[in-house]
Structure formats: structure tokens, C-alpha cells
């Protein structure tokens, strides 16, 4: 039986990568604590006690249960609502993180995830809400007013099973994202236009196209008259992702079975990239396009396919988010780019572009969002302190290779000392 060797484990590239990411997280959390301390001690409205509470919430806000009714002290414990909301928010982060990570693995920088996410959103909602899932009577069970509105639009003829509409909407979102991702890929492959520049252009085109689509849409929420410029939730049409029993484990939360799909897709991406010839060709083209061409790999095709796959993942993130049935799309904000698309970049960086690592980094980033919200709700601190932490982690993740080199030097120095 082979004896466990700690030094051998520490010498492996995977261990160094994980350690570098953990160091980035710890330094980021430490910087956040320093910001809280400085803010607390220089603000008369805060003070030392609030500083301690701020640090507690930044590090453990996911387990916050509020304040004690008698003493006013913070209370902590398992909070199923916050845990479920974290999983819900992590879904699109994991998918956009996978989008950026896959492109990076193949030598491309996909900064076009926001536009791909928007196109996936548009396709998903149009399919999910335009295909009727029942007669007027079955729609009546979902929402009588919504059924009347759909009948007025002539959308109650032939009906389709809700599960089939869900599948079509999910695939449609992926295909729309893939199409939008393939455009920068084609420009890169055929005209050698830098994919970053092409992605920036397609991002803003997508923002305006999606705004125009929904501006002329018949899917604007006409049931709740207090709202304006909102698109119906998919739950209005009876098309939402199954909870898979997670709502029983995490009651009163937004949790959706989509988190399971996101994790499975991350595993599939890992297998494709690391266990298949196709994945090897994509990575080989990314490492050296001209050497790959010399070896017989069709480099132009690989570039287009890589960007299309990256776009499909971003589109899938939008599909999972809106098919959960919890959230309405406020279409006027489509004139700006969704932050979740850009947040996929730090998720991928923190995971060192490892698809399995993206799962954990996506959950971590989602946890920080929850912690920031609790910091705002329970103290006088600004929730954007968590954005400072994320920013520090992103910068350090970008220097992760330097951290790994320093770790390697320390290891080699230790060996020399042993000699």
C-alpha cells in the first residue's frame, strides 16, 4: 500500500491551484474586514460593536437568523431560506462562469457572456410564454386573469405539455446564446478580429435588440396593473423548473431544481474538455493555433465551436434563471448589460478555469451576495463592502499563477534546505 506523502501532494499543480485560490479568498476576506474596521471606527454612527457584527456578517451572513428580540444581539444558525436563495443565485453564476472558463481553456476570452445571456433570456421567455400549456380551463387554474389575457392574444388553440414547453424553452435559450457566441468566433476565425472587441460589440447589439423585441412584445405583464415594463413569470404559464424536492429541504426560498442541472452541466463540460478527443482538439487549438493546424486540427472550426459552446452555456444560465418561475424580466433594463454575465469572469478566474472548480466559486460568489444583503439589512454598513472583497479576490485570482510560482519556489527552497 502506497504511503501518503504530503510533500508529493503539495507539489501537484492541482493542489497549488486550489491553494492559490484559497489564499486569494483569505486575503480578500481580510481586506474586507479591514474596510469594515476603518469604516466603523471613523463613523460615529457605527462603533466597535458594529464593527464586530459587520465582520461576523461578512464571513457568516449565510447563517444569519436575525437579531435576538430581547438583547438585540445577532443570532446565527442554519437558515434554509438564505441557503435556498444562495443556490438560486448561484445557478446563472455557475453557467456564465462555465462560459468564460470553457473559452479560456480554448485560448479565447469570452467577454460576450452578457449579450449571450440576454439573447438566451429573450428566446427562453418567448418560447415558454408563447406556447400554451393547456385550454382556457387549465390556464384558469394557473391564473384566471392571465388566461383571459392569453385568450385575447389567440394563444389558447393547440396545447402542449408543460414539460415539453420547458424543454423547448431551455434548448431555445441555449441555441440563441450559441448563435450569439458564434458571431465573434466567426469573426475571429475568418477575419482574425480580436474576440474581445467583437464580443463588446455583440453585447451592446444584444442589449438593444432584446429591448426592441420586448418593447413590441405582447408578453408584457398586463395582469398586475401596478407594474410597467415587466414580462410575465414563466410560472404564469405553468412552465417552471421542478423543485426536485429541494423546496421541502429549504422551505420559503427561491431554490430550483435548476441548480442540479447547472452542476451536471459543469461535470459534462469537465468530461468533454479533459476526457475526449474533441476537448483535446479544442484545448490544443487554444494553446497554439498554428501547431494545432499543422497536426491536422481544423483550427477555424474549433474557434467557432468553442465560442458557440461558450454562448450556449451563458444562454443556458439565463434559461435556468427565468424558467425557475421566481423572477420577472424588467425589460427596460435590457438597455444595460446584466451583471451576471460579467460576474462569470471572476467565477472562472477564481476556479482557475476548472469546470468543477466553477461550481464552488459560483456558490462562493453567491454566498458573498447574500452576506452583503444581510450586512445592509442588519447593520448600518453598506452592502457594497462585499463588492470590495470580490474585487480583491478577482485581482488576486488574476495573479494566481504568480502565487503558484511563489509556492513552487518555496517548495524547491525547502528541498534545498533538506539537502
pTM of the predicted model as reported, rounded to 2 decimal places: 0.86
The predicted pLDDT at position 411 comes to: 54
Angle 81-332-133 from CA coordinates, rounded to 5°: 65
Task: Write 141-147 long-range contacts (CB < 8 A, 24+).
Answer: 142/235, 142/236, 142/237, 142/238, 143/223, 143/236, 145/223, 146/223, 146/232, 146/236, 146/237
Q: What are phi and psi of 79, to 5 degrees?
A: -115, 100
State how far the Cα of 289 lies from the Cα of 299, in Å rounded to an integer.
Answer: 6
DSSP 253-302: S---THHHHHHHHHHHHHHHHHHSHHHHHHHHHHH-HHHHHHTT--HHHH
| Residue for grid cell 429541494 | 246
Q: Whole-angstrom Cα distance, residue 79 to residue 72?
A: 18
Domain ranges of the chain: 6-78+404-418, 83-363
Confidence (pLDDT) at 401: 58
Pick the CATH number of 83-363 from 1.10.3470, 1.20.120, 3.30.70, 1.20.1070: 1.10.3470
62-114 confidence digits (pLDDT tens): 999 988 888 888 899 999 999 999 999 999 999 999 999 999 999 899 999 99
Rounded Cα distance, 193 and 190, in Å: 8
| Most confident of the following: 153-157, 182-186, 234-238, 297-301 | 182-186
Q: Is residue 138 within a helix (H) or strand (E), and if so which, with residue range?
A: helix 136-142
Q: Count Cβ neighbours within 10 Å for each residue of 53-71 and write b for 16 or more, e otherwise.
A: bbbbbbeebbbbeeeeeee
* pLDDT tens for each residue of 341-393: 999 998 998 888 899 999 999 999 999 889 888 888 888 887 777 778 777 77
Q: Say how far apart CA 199 and CA 183 lie, in whole Å.
A: 8
**Axis-axis angle for helices 113-130, 195-215 (nearest 10):** 30
- Per-residue confidence (pLDDT) for residue 381, from 0 to 100: 80
pLDDT at 416 (0 to 100): 46
Specify whether the CB–CB gap between 308 and 106 falls below 8 A.
Answer: no
pLDDT for the residue 213: 83
167: cell is: 424543454
What is the rounded distance in angstroms from the CA atom of residue 311 to the CA atom of residue 175? 8
What one-character DSSP code corresponds to residue 132? -
**How many alpha carbons lie under 13 Å from residue 337 in its C-beta half-sphere?**
19
pLDDT tens digits, 192-242 = 899 999 999 999 999 988 888 887 767 777 666 556 677 888 888 888 899
Tens of pLDDT, residues 17-31: 777 778 878 888 888
* Digit-coded pLDDT (tens) for 268-324: 999 999 999 999 998 888 888 888 888 888 888 999 999 999 999 999 999 999 999
Q: Which of 2-6, 82-86, 334-338, 369-373 has the highest mean pLDDT?
A: 82-86
Q: How far apart are the C-alpha atoms of 229 and 153, rounded to whole Å?
A: 18
Confidence of residue 157 (pLDDT cuts 50, 70, 90): low
Amino acid at each position: 500500500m502506497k504511503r501518503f506523502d504530503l510533500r508529493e501532494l503539495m507539489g501537484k499543480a492541482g493542489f497549488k491551484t486550489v491553494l492559490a485560490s484559497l489564499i486569494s479568498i483569505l486575503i480578500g476576506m481580510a481586506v474586507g474586514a479591514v474596510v469594515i474596521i476603518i469604516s466603523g471606527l471613523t463613523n460615529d454612527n457605527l462603533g466597535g460593536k458594529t464593527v464586530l457584527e459587520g465582520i461576523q456578517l461578512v464571513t457568516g451572513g449565510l447563517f444569519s437568523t436575525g437579531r435576538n428580540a430581547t438583547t438585540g444581539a445577532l443570532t446565527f444558525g442554519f437558515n434554509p431560506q438564505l441557503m435556498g436563495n444562495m443556490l438560486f443565485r448561484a445557478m446563472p453564476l455557475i453557467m456564465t462562469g462555465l462560459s468564460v472558463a470553457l473559452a479560456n481553456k480554448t485560448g479565447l476570452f469570452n467577454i460576450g457572456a452578457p449579450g449571450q445571456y440576454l439573447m438566451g433570456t429573450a428566446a427562453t421567455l418567448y418560447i415558454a410564454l408563447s406556447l400554451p400549456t393547456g385550454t382556457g380551463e387549465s390556464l384558469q387554474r394557473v391564473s384566471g386573469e392571465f388566461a383571459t389575457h392569453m385568450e385575447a392574444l389567440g394563444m389558447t388553440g393547440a396545447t402542449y405539455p408543460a414539460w415539453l414547453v420547458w424543454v423547448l424553452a431551455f434548448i431555445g435559450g441555449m441555441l440563441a446564446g450559441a448563435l450569439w457566441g458564434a458571431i465573434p468566433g466567426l469573426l475571429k476565425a475568418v477575419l482574425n478580429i480580436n474576440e474581445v472587441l467583437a464580443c463588446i460589440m455583440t453585447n451592446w447589439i444584444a442589449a438593444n435588440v432584446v429591448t426592441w423585441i420586448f418593447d413590441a412584445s405582447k408578453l408584457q405583464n398586463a395582469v398586475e396593473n401596478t407594474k410597467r415594463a415587466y414580462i410575465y413569470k414563466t410560472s404564469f404559464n405553468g412552465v417552471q423548473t421542478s423543485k426536485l424536492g429541494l423546496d421541502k429541504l429549504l422551505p420559503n426560498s427561491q431554490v430550483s431544481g435548476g441548480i442540479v442541472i447547472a452542476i451536471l452541466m459543469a461535470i459534462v463540460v469537465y468530461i468533454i474538455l479533459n476526457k475526449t478527443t474533441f476537448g483535446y482538439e479544442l484545448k490544443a487549438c487554444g494553446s497554439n493555433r498554428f501547431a494545432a493546424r499543422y497536426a491536422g486540427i481544423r483550427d477555424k472550426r474549433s474557434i467557432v465551436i468553442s465560442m458557440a459552446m461558450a454562448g450556449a452555456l451563458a444562454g443556458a444560465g439565463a434559461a435556468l434563471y427565468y424558467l425557475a418561475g421566481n423572477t420577472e424580466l424588467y425589460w427596460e433594463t435590457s438597455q444595460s448589460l446584466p451583471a451576471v454575465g460579467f460576474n462569470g469572469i471572476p467565477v472562472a478566474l477564481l476556479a482557475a478555469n476548472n469546470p468543477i472548480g466553477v461550481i464552488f466559486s459560483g456558490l462562493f460568489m453567491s454566498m458573498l451576495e447574500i452576506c452583503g444583503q444581510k450586512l445592509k439589512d442588519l447593520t448600518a454598513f453598506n452592502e457594497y463592502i462585499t463588492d470590495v472583497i470580490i474585487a480583491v479576490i478577482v485581482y488576486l485570482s488574476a495573479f494566481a499563477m504568480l502565487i503558484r510560482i511563489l509556492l513552487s519556489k518555496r517548495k524547491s527552497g525547502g528541498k534545498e534546505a533538506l539537502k
